[in-house]
A and B are shown apart, each in its own frame.
Chain A
């Protein structure tokens, strides 16, 4: 079991950046009004932010990172590690983290690399960067986000109204007095087809015809480079796996669920998250949502929710948080971490 503890690392600050352009579910006339109503009451998604053609995930993460460095008074030369967690890189190669190292003015001794994960990416990213930071350096930047809308199409009602774009930055530092971080990370690759972009990689390489749309079923027409989502399988996976993962972690850490101040889940869809919340028997007040305003923002959804929904308490108090990310892969994981009056930048809206 990948259950472990990391000492001496604390979260210093967090920032999030979203495109200014807002798209409303009520305007999505590819489906009927009745379908729109059911979609909103089920998923909770009323609006989401959509990046224009020239805005990449890296642009949103750059803006968040720049603001966070400013707000935390950390100089760019004091950053030793930069990890970019995303499934929408600027290029196949080089890694986007390397472009961001230069763009942010970080020193040449910076360790920079990408991690290709989605819904679970923030939790995995925290685990990787905290472990690495324990070995080398003093400060590290974890950049998580996705421009998921680059791969969705309005003619696929199963994906198009779900996803929004966002980029985030989290600054971590070494501190021997920091409370431990507890992780439980898991993987089940048998679910690889449940959320997938089939085309454009080396398995189904880009070639003529790959962008030709096919009717899959009524309301779902897409090409091989569009995102595919099997909602039933993902829903099932989440109901099956998230609770045991969290319970194992609580058991390992000797922390009672009632002593957790907030459970921040990946913002997948409200019905799914509410089902998980009820299974965990956590009060509604302890489970914040940002999905109404931003949709499913992939690996950005947990830090984005922290910035938009928990900023006051994160800034002014010590909080014991349980974060849980689950989805594409399947890949999932949870972390228990304690924040202590951290810097939370105002939500950035970029054009």
Chain B
């Protein structure tokens, strides 16, 4: 699996409204400016498409940072 930096970078590319290079693995994903459920759907679609892993609502609630999301995906793949 790709590393967390690449994971964050690829996800950032999915967010059309986020300036490139601003998101870090330690960024709280809910602190993206104007965060909405659309961002959550983009995350789910990205993870499903790239890793064939389905994130649940509770996974998103538990995760704070992109690093947390990465760890959840990694654990589901293990």
* A residues with CB within 8 A of B: 31-32, 34-35, 37-39, 41-43, 157-158, 219, 230-233, 235-236, 239-240, 269, 271-272, 274-275, 278-279
Check: B17 CB closer than 8 A to any chain A CB: yes
Residues of A within 8 A of B48 (CB): 239, 275, 279
Contact of B44 among A31, A158, A236 (CB under 8 A): A236
**Least Cβ–Cβ distance between A273 and chain B, in angstroms:** 11
Asked whether, in the complex, the Cβ of A34 is within 8 Å of the Cβ of B44, the reply is: no
Give chain B interface residues in 1-58, CB to chain A under 8 Å: 15-17, 33-34, 36-42, 44-45, 48-49, 54-57
Kindly state whether residue B63 has any CB partner on chain A within 8 Å: no
Closest beta carbon of chain A to B44's beta carbon, Å: 6
Closest to A232 in B: B57
Is there contact, CB below 8 Å, between B17 and A278?
A: no
Given A42-B38, A232-B41, residue A239 in contact with residue B16 (CB < 8 A): no
Question: What chain A residues lie within 8 Å of B72 (beta carbons)?
Answer: none
With A and B bound together, what is the CA distance between A34 and B38 in angstroms?
Answer: 12
Q: Which residues of B contact A32 (CB under 8 A)?
A: 34
Chain B hits for A35, CB < 8 A: 34, 36, 38
Q: How far apart are A299's CB and chain B's nearest CB, in angstroms?
A: 22
Q: Which of A34, A43, A219 has the most CB of B within 10 A?
A: A34
Those 6 A-B pairs whose CB atoms lie nearest each other, nearest first: A231-B37, A42-B38, A275-B45, A232-B57, A38-B17, A35-B34
Q: B17 contacts which chain A residues (CB < 8 A)?
A: 34, 37-38
Name the prevailing secondary structure of the B interface residues.
helix
Q: Within the complex, which residue of B15, B38, B57 is in contact with A230, where a contact is CB–CB below 8 Å?
A: B57
> Beyond A34-B17, A37-B16, A233-B57, is A158–B45 a contact (Cβ under 8 Å)?
no
A232 and B60 contact, Cβ closer than 8 Å, known pairs A38-B17, A41-B16: yes
* Total count of chain B residues near the partner, CB < 8 A: 21
Would you call B34 and A232 a contact (CB within 8 A)? no
Q: How far is the CA of A38 from the CA of B36 in the complex (A)?
A: 9
- Residues of chain B contacted by A43 (CB below 8 angstroms): 38
Which residues of A are found within 8 Å of B37, using beta-carbon distances? 158, 231-232
Q: Name A's interface SS.
A: helix
Using CB atoms, name the residue of chain B closest to A37. B17
B16 CB contacts on chain A under 8 angstroms: 37-38, 41
In the complex, the answer to whether A231 meets B54 with C-beta atoms within 8 Å is no
The CA of A239 and the CA of B44, in the complex, are separated in Å by 9
Which of B15, B37, B55, B56 counts the most chain A CB atoms within 10 A? B37
Contact B49–A231 (Cβ < 8 Å): no
- Smallest CB separation, A131 vs chain B (Å): 34
> Whole-angstrom distance between the alpha carbons of A37 and B18 in the complex?
12
Chain A: which residue is nearest B48 at the CB level? Answer: A239
- Shortest CB–CB separation between residue B31 and chain A, in angstroms? 14
Collect the chain B residues with CB atoms within 8 Å of residue A42's CB. Answer: 38, 41-42
Q: Which of A43, A233, A275 has the most CB of B within 10 A?
A: A275
* Whole-angstrom distance between the Cβ of B26 and the nearest chain A Cβ: 23
| Selected A-B contacts with CB under 8 Å, 12 pairs | A34-B34, A37-B17, A38-B34, A38-B39, A39-B38, A42-B38, A231-B37, A235-B45, A239-B45, A239-B48, A271-B42, A279-B48
Closest to A240 in B: B54
Query: Residues of A contacting B45 with CB < 8 Å?
Result: 235, 239, 271-272, 274-275
Give the residues in chain B near A34, CB-CB below 8 Å: 17, 33-34
Report A276 CB to chain B, min CB distance, Å: 10
Given contacts A34-B33, A37-B17, A232-B44, contact A239 B38 (CB under 8 A): no
Complex Cα distance, B52 from A131, in Å, reads: 37
A37 to B36 alpha-carbon distance, docked (Å): 12
Assembly CA distance A272 to B38 (angstroms): 11
Q: Assuming the A-B contacts A233-B57, A240-B54, are A157 and B36 also in contact, with contact meaning beta carbons closer than 8 angstroms in the complex?
A: yes
Contact between chains at A272 and B41 (CB < 8 Å): yes
User: Which of B42, B54, B60 sits near A239, CB closer than 8 Å?
Assistant: B54
Query: Which residue in chain A gives the minimum CB-CB distance to B38?
Result: A42
